[in-house]
């Protein structure tokens, strides 16, 4: 007998579910291999964009938007938080009596909370609106992952950046959605970073970091969107 829900899901939904699974694997491997965890977070970001492309091409389902936000909690809320925690504690247990140890638990926990709030309010947004308030969880997770792959591995810097995103994800700052051209560039850089993270002095993660930070800083004011 076929499981109850499978007949109601489409190809885009299957990709979304794969995104959530990648988030779990990224969190699971973070204590042992933070670099692999970072690459898996970027791979999840690629699938997050791909499910939308497939949904537009082949049609979505009534449950697609809900699955997307639930998957994003796993891949761009929990996974990057565990990743940062693992880097800050060197894959071990934090010394809670120290400022760094306490921050290594508190900041990732707040990050997950803010990601859930951000995604909850995003579900209430009109899907035809080309803008969104607050930094996208996908962008926050991408920058945290690619910082590490670009060679920025200091726990204090990663925790500070995570704390900044705790605010930016729920801030009243309007971000435009990426046009197809820019989404393809971003996706291509993400794919190259996943496959070749250290080639030519880490050129791909550093290029991706430049692109992502440029969007983070400039997009609310000047966006290079074309037609």
103-134 tens-digit pLDDT: 999 999 999 999 999 999 888 876 677 888 99
Q: Is the pLDDT of residue 1 over 70?
A: no
Q: Are 46 and 78 in contact (CB under 8 A)?
A: no
**Residue 163: other Cβ atoms inside 10 A:** 17
Give residue-wise pLDDT tens across range 90-105: 988 888 889 899 999 9
Q: Rounded to whole angstroms, how far apart are CA atoms 112 and 83?
A: 12
Q: Which two tokens stand for residue 18?
A: 């794969």
Q: Rounded to whole angstroms, how far apart are CA atoms 67 and 72?
A: 8
pTM of the model: 0.93
Please state, in angstroms and as integers, the Cα–Cα distance from residue 50 to each residue in 12, 28, 68, 204, following that order.
8, 23, 11, 20
Q: Which domains does the chain have, with CATH numbers?
A: 6-218 (1.20.120)
């Amino acid at each position: 007998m076929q499981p109850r829900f499978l007949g109601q899901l489409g190809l885009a939904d299957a990709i979304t579910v794969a995104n959530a699974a990648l988030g779990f694997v990224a969190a699971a491997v973070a204590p042992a291999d933070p670099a692999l965890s970072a690459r898996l977070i970027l791979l999840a970001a690629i699938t997050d964009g791909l499910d939308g492309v497939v949904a537009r091409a082949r049609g979505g389902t009534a449950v697609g938007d809900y699955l997307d936000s639930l998957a994003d909690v796993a891949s761009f809320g929990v996974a990057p938080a565990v990743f940062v925690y693992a880097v800050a504690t060197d894959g071990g247990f934090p010394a809670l009596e120290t400022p760094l140890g306490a921050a290594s638990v508190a900041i990732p926990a707040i990050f997950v909370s803010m990601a859930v709030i951000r995604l909850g309010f995003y579900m209430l947004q009109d899907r035809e609106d080309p803008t969104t308030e607050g930094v996208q969880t996908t962008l926050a997770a991408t920058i945290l992952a690619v910082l590490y792959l670009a060679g920025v591995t200091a726990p204090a810097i990663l925790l500070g950046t995570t704390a900044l995103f705790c605010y930016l994800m729920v801030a009243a700052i309007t971000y435009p959605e990426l046009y197809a051209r820019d989404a393809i560039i971003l996706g291509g850089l993400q794919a190259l970073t996943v496959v070749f993270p250290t080639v030519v002095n880490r050129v791909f993660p550093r290029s991706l970091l430049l692109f992502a930070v440029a969007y983070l800083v400039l997009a609310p004011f000047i966006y290079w969107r074309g037609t």
